[in-house]
Amino acid sequence: MSHVLLDHPLQACKVKLVSSPDAKCSLLSNVNYGMYGSPLRFEKKMLRSENYEAVIYAAGPLAFRPNHCPPTTHY
């Protein structure tokens, strides 16, 4: 018996930002829906081994932003 969500990870799964390794650049941004869930893309790649097959999916790019962004002067 198939399961609608589990059989279709492109529709069922989303990727979200969790934490940044850089304390100076650690605020969440919504670039490519990083705060609310970025959709997955099928990359047409697979990993195969004797005991398993894995399909490769990708998301993003996602980004954090710094705590303070000084205004820039344009000339």
Residue 32 contacts residue 16 (beta carbons within 8 Å)? no
pLDDT tens for the 75 residues of the chain, in order:
565 545 666 777 889 989 999 998 999 999 999 889 998 888 888 889 999 888 888 898 999 999 887 777 877
At residue 64, the pLDDT reads 92
What values do phi and psi take at 46, rounded to 5? -140, 145
Tokens representing 41 are 């893309």
Its pTM surpasses 0.75: no
**Residue (of 65, 46, 69, 64) closest to 56 by Cα position:** 46
